Structures are given as C-alpha cells and as structure tokens.
Amino acid sequence: MSTSLTPTITVREMQETAPADLELRLIAGADGLSRNITVPRIQKLGLALAGFANYIHPGRIQIVGGSEVQYLEQLSPERRLEVMKQLPLESMACVLITRGLIPPGEFLETAEAACLPVFVTPQVSSLAIVKMTDFLQKRLAPSVSLHGVMIDMFGLGVLILGESGIGKSECALDLITRGHRLVSDDVVELRRSGYDKIIGAAPLIVRNHMEIRGLGIINIKDLFGISAIAVEKQLDLAIKFERWAPDRNYDRLGLDEKHINILEVDIPLIEIPVTSGRNLATLIEVAVRNHLLKMRGFHAAREFVAKHTQILDKEEGKQ
C-alpha cells in the first residue's frame, strides 16, 4: 500500500496537465516552474496589491483579474515596483492573469527576477477559478493505492480485499458476467474527495484489464463492451475475503458492524470466510443488497433479534 496524504504538484505539471480550455500561456518566470502548488484553493491577489499582503497563503495560485490590472496601470512605475517588492513573491506558487490581459512591465520584470511563473488565460476570473480549483482538488487530494478489486454494483462502489490468490479477480469476473461494472483490478487508486467521500479508479496502465490465472490478461471493455466499465466510482462498501479458520468464531447474525479506515474515512466492512464450494459472487451480491437495505433504514439482523426478543418476553410473561 502506498499513501500520499500531503500531495503536491509542481507548476510545470500544472501547466502540462491543466484543462486545455484554460489555454495557459507562460509570459514570465520560466525558471520557477519547479515551484510546488500545495493548496487547491485559488487566491485573488486583490488587496495584497494595496499593501495587505499578510493574508497571502504560500503554495497557492494567485489570480490577477481586470480590476487588479487597472489598479496597477494607474500607479506610477516607481510605485508599481514598490507594490511588487512588498509581496511575498518567494512563497507564491504562480500567478494566473485572466481575460488575456498583460500587466505593466514592472510586474513582469519583478516576477521574472524572482523566478515567479506568470501565466495568462483568456478565461474570465470566475470561470478560471472554478476550472483550476476543480483540477487541483483532484490532483492534490489525499490518495492511496490498495491491492484489490473494485466493482460498481447496484450503484454502489464495492472494494474487494483479500490476500493474493484468494479469488478476488475470478469473483469479480463472475460479477461482471452478471451485469456489474469493473472499476479496477489488482490495484485500486483511491482519493479522498471533500471530508467524507472516497473515489476509486484504475491506474491508467491497467484500466479496462483484468489478470485471471490460467487466462492471462483480458480486456473487459473489448470482451463485454463499454457498459461493463466504470472509469471511477465512489467507495461505499469494502468486502474482505479471509481463509476459513475452523477455530475462529464468525458472526452468524450480522449484528457486528465493522469498518475499515481509508484516508481517515470509515468505510463499512464485511468479512467473508472463503472455503471451497462457496459461491462468492452470489454472497457479494446478497451482501451489497443487504447493505442497500441498511442504508434505507432496514436492518434484517436487528429486526430478527427484535422479533425473537418480543416472543421470548411474551413467553416469560405467561409463566
């Protein structure tokens, strides 16, 4: 398992992979492309140009729009240099100027001297902020890679875990033949979205493929069509296969609710003991259907225990 709880992205990587419709164009500070972007939130330079620079957060992209450019243009060249020198240029990740505007020469000269990358986009500030924030939230989200298989079943993202060779991929293939969709086989990349959501996807190199012992590498998209593939899915349930241990007491009622912590988010966990002859695909389908009922407020095991308790109470009352 590999984890990245505090990911970063360089300005160069941002430039190369940002949404194409931003049409980023570098106009200064090429020597600073190795700077790191550490925060997905975008900050407007705004009041910092008027002297309130204490609220400039390091590692962020700074937006400069029409109002900022107009403000700089009405200053004298000497005052522009003073304003630029007051800014913490060394802690900024880069500057993004919107509407295709070009700032005064003093701005670009100071940025070039400080090796601060300055980009221009033809987009308006509001749209540029939305697109760049969405891009950075995905790239800078805490992430982890797990050994397992992820399937989209009945609209839920299900992660199948277990030791190598226990039958995860074969079970997943059986589920795909029943109409469920493959997200990833062997390695699942998980990233946190927001505070309590985990999104799973396949690494690009193994996307659409499965490794089945005896068959080798197969392409699920080619075999079953595009409808058998899900590019990514929110993780709702984890199911772990375990070798049957005769000396272990397994939960026979379903009252014990377990969780697995992934990227500081608790995901419901169901442990299924594996022995020869058990139809694992059917067990998983039933487990997912039962989990759907729990999400809707119906807990079969609790209802069962409650009914039996009522019967026992009535019997005791007659005595």
Rg (CA), the chain: 27
Q: What are phi and psi of 141, to 5 degrees?
A: -70, 140
- In the chain, CATH 3.40.50.300 sits at 143-305
Choices 3.40.1390.20, 2.130.10.30, 3.30.70.100, 3.70.10.10: CATH for 7-139: 3.40.1390.20
User: Picking from 30-34, 78-82, 192-196, which range would have the lowest pLDDT averaged per residue?
Assistant: 192-196
DSSP annotation of 252 reads: S
- What is the CATH topology of the domain spanning 143-305? Rossmann fold (3.40.50)
**Pairing state of beta strands 265-274 and 232-243?**
parallel
Give the pLDDT confidence of 124-150 residue by residue, as tens digits.
Answer: 999 999 999 999 988 898 889 999 999
3-state helix, strand, coil in the chain (%, to 5): 35, 30, 35
Query: What pLDDT sits at residue 296?
Result: 84
**How far apart are the C-alpha atoms of 230 and 259, rounded to whole Å?**
24
Global pTM value = 0.72
The pLDDT-based confidence of 315 (bands split at 50, 70, 90) is: low
Give the pLDDT confidence of 94-115 residue by residue, as tens digits.
Answer: 999 999 999 999 999 999 999 9
Query: What pLDDT sits at residue 43?
Result: 92
pLDDT, mean of residues 186-209: 92
- In the chain, CATH 3.40.1390.20 sits at 7-139
Mean of all residue pLDDT scores within the chain: 90
CA nearest to 263, candidates 203, 190, 187, 201: 190
CA nearest to 144, candidates 184, 205, 207, 199: 199
Q: Which residues are catalytic?
A: 147, 168, 186, 252
